[in-house]
Amino acid sequence: MSIEEIGCCGAYCRTCRVYQESLCQGCKLGYASSERDIAKAKCAIKVCCLKRAFQSCADCTQYDSCVIIQRFYRKNGAKYRKYREATQYIRTNGYDQFIAIADGWKMQHGRYPQKG
C-alpha cells in the first residue's frame, strides 16, 4: 500500500483491476524515478498535480476553485463523484485513513464507513 497508488484525482489504483493486470501503470508511478516523462503525460490533472509536487489534488490549496479538477468531477458518471468523494475524504481524514479503507475495495473507488 502506497500513497503513490492514489491517483491525483482520487482514484485508488491499487484495487483497480486494470492496474492489477498491468494494463495500466497508474497515475503517478514512475515519474519520480524518471522512468516516465511528465512532458508526455496527457492528463492535465496529473501534470498539474505532479509538477506542483502534490501527492494528489487533496493537497492543493486551490482545490475548490481549480477549473481542471472541478470540470473532471462534473463529468457524467458515478466514478467521478466517487473520485471527488475520495479526494474530500483525504482532505478531511488524511492519506493513512483513506488507504486503510480503500485497501478493502474491489475497484478503484468504494464505500466509506457510516458516520454514527
Q: What is the mean pLDDT of residues 2-24?
A: 91
Q: Where are the domains of the chain?
A: 3-102
In whole angstroms, give the CA distance from residue 107 to residue 15: 5
Above 80 in pLDDT, residue 16?
A: yes
| CB crowding 19-41: b at 16 or more within 10 Å, else e | beeeeeebbbbebeeeebeeeee
Give the pLDDT band (50/70/90) at residue 75.
Answer: very high
pLDDT value, residue 112: 87
Q: What is the mean pLDDT of residues 8-13?
A: 94
